[in-house]
Amino acid sequence: MIRMATIVPPQKPQAQTKTRLQYIVMVGALGFVLSLVAVFFVEARRRTPRGKDRPAPAGTQPVPAAAGPDAEVAGATDETMALRTVGSGGAGSP
């Protein structure tokens, strides 16, 4: 004799948004991490030391500070450019 038993009672179907949302969050986090890695990689490639055979690219020379309301910003740019020139083996390096 065969008997049938209900193991799980019938339920109304529900959308499984939790797993879909988890996948969307994971893809977003992965995209964010990949973009950070790409930015650091490009920045590291740009900061390679320059030898005597490879001169510094144009535009890396310090720009004189401008007078006026933007003088502080120009001064910060000058310091940054000078540090980049010194740090990359440019004209100011020992």
| pLDDT digits 0-9 by tens, 14-49 | 877 888 899 999 999 999 999 999 999 999 888 876
Taking the model in full, what pTM does it have? 0.38
Gyration radius of the chain's alpha carbons: 30
Look at residue 93 in the predicted model and tell me its pLDDT.
Answer: 47
Residue 32: other Cβ atoms inside 10 A: 10
What phi and psi values does residue 10 have, to the nearest 5 degrees?
Answer: -60, 140
Percent above pLDDT 70 for the chain: 50
User: What does the CA dihedral 65, 67, 68, 69 come to, rounded to 10 degrees?
Assistant: 20
Q: Residue 93: left if φ>0, alpha if ψ -120 to 50, beta else—which one?
A: beta
